[in-house]
Amino acid sequence: MDMIKNLTNVRGIKCWGAHTGIKSLRRDLAIIYSDVVASAAGVFTQNKVTAAPVDLTKKHIADGKAQAIVINAGNANAATGEQGRKGAEAMAQTMADELGIDKELVLVSSTGIIGEPFPTDDIVEGIKENAKKLSKKSNAGSFAANAILTTDTYPKEGFTEFDVDGYEVNMAGIAKGSGMIHPNMATMLAFVVTDAAIESGLLQSMVKEAVDKSFNMITVDGDTSTNDMVLVLANGKAHNDIIKTEQDPGYDNLKENLEEMMTHLAKQIVSDGEGASKFIQYEVKNASSIDTARKLIREISDSTLVKAAMFGRDPNWGRIIGAAGNAGIPFDYTKTDLYIGSDKNQVKMLDQGVPQPFDRNMMKKLLRESHIHITLDLHQGEAKAVGWGTDLTTDYVMFNSVYTT
């Protein structure tokens, strides 16, 4: 991933990010605009309490087309009733008016505190003031990446260029998330743009698969937000022949790069988990199905006891196996191998379910590393999955005990 180039290096994409007063001292309004109508796809929170922008964007993206995304930070516009619904509508209408496009081509997103009255007037004025500043300059892309942050300590960005059937294609993405991260498509938002040409229905299925491998395999605290969404725009300005089927030239390469982009952004979110001191990679190998492997990872990575053990550098493998047993997935513990360690040195803790001798002091030293690997080999099939999580620290508890005060 190229960390210098950003959203504005994608053909036809302009951006801006500005401070409107919703948040003190930080940018809080981001705009992403394609100068042509793009194929659009989105995946949204499975939380039964959905924010007003989620409801509106689902409606606007239903036809697979979009041209602009407008995002505010500092207020989630969730649990805000009719006032919030009108606020989301006002964001879309104002953005459309300023850009001279149809309202239905505007997608809306919000992030911040739930249940606070939505500052519609401030955001509308901010859109009017900043729409005219949309730019192809690199700093405009950086401004947008910074404007969507809440408790994040740094912006999450990525850029890549690759070949699609002989045409050079660009792709870039930004994301935010630090707490309320347990997507099921936390607070988690991601926006990806590409100049590839692809039919919108095919893009939707591609996005869903990529999200399942990336954003749906991360956790910080087990809480799925009211506002989670991943949006992708593909405006076709690379001029490749439009990809209409999975058999078309370039489909595989586009899909691979989209998955890599989303995985890159997802791992950045975990690395910035609230109060986290460790980045933990979980791998399940030789499972009976991908679904089994993914469910085991999500159960283990979300276990409070496992995360607390990793924070305390405690090689208590029983907590990992116990969490796996809680996943509701039948697997044969007596065939399972378990490894715990660092990036470079994993120690075998179980062999076919039998505990193995290990040097406890050496393991505690390994677990001081900031990157930890935990691997389960089930020996029950050929499927595998990878996921990412954090430890549970005293800093996380302190931070979230005074979040609104």
SS3 sequence of 306-369? HHHHHHCCCCCHHHHHHHHHCCCCCCCHHHCEEEEEECCCEEEEEECCEECCCCHHHHHHHCCC
pLDDT for res 178 = 60
| Collapsed DSSP state (helix, strand, coil) of residue 254 | helix
Cα separation of 268 and 158, whole Å? 10
Token duo for residue 105: 């081509």
* Cβ–Cβ under 8 Å, residues 170 and 195: yes
Phi, psi of 191 (to 5 degrees): -135, 125
Residues with Cβ within 8 Å of residue 236, at least 6 apart in sequence: 36, 38, 39, 195, 196, 197, 198, 242
Q: Which of 262, 135, 268, 130 is nearest to 194 (CA)?
A: 262
User: How many beta carbons lie within 10 A of that of residue 323, not counting itself?
Assistant: 20
- Residues 8, 160, 187, 219: which is the catalytic one? 187
* The model's pTM: 0.89
Nearest residue to 114 (alpha-carbon basis) of 20, 22, 49, 181: 49
Cβ-based neighbour number of residue 62 at 10 Å = 11
Domains for the chain: give ranges and CATH numbers.
7-271 (3.60.70.12), 279-401 (3.10.20.340)
In order along its 405 residues, the chain shows pLDDT tens digits of 766 899 999 999 999 999 998 887 889 999 999 999 999 999 998 888 899 999 999 999 999 999 999 999 999 999 999 999 999 999 999 999 999 999 999 999 999 888 999 999 999 999 999 999 999 999 999 999 999 998 788 899 999 999 999 999 999 999 998 644 444 434 589 999 999 999 999 999 999 999 999 998 987 655 567 899 999 999 999 999 999 999 999 999 999 999 999 999 999 988 886 667 889 999 999 999 999 999 999 999 989 899 999 988 889 899 999 999 988 888 888 999 999 998 889 999 999 999 999 999 899 889 999 899 999 999 999 999 999 998 887 776 766 565 554
Which pLDDT score, from 0 to 100, does residue 220 have?
Answer: 60
Adjacent-strand bridge partners of 211? none
* Residue 183, pLDDT score: 45
pLDDT of residue 31: 98
| Cα 363 to Cα 98: distance, rounded to the nearest angstrom | 59
Contact 57, 108 (CB under 8 A): yes
Backbone torsions φ then ψ of 142, nearest 5 degrees:
-65, -40
CA dist list (Å): 258 to 93, 209, 290, 357: 30, 10, 20, 42
The contacts of residue 229 (CB under 8 Å, 6+ apart) are 42, 43, 44, 45, 54, 57, 109, 185, 189, 190
- Verify whether residue 224 is a known catalytic residue: no
Exposure string for 127-157, b = 16+ CB within 10 A, e = fewer:
beebbeebebeeebbbbbbbbbbbbbeebbb
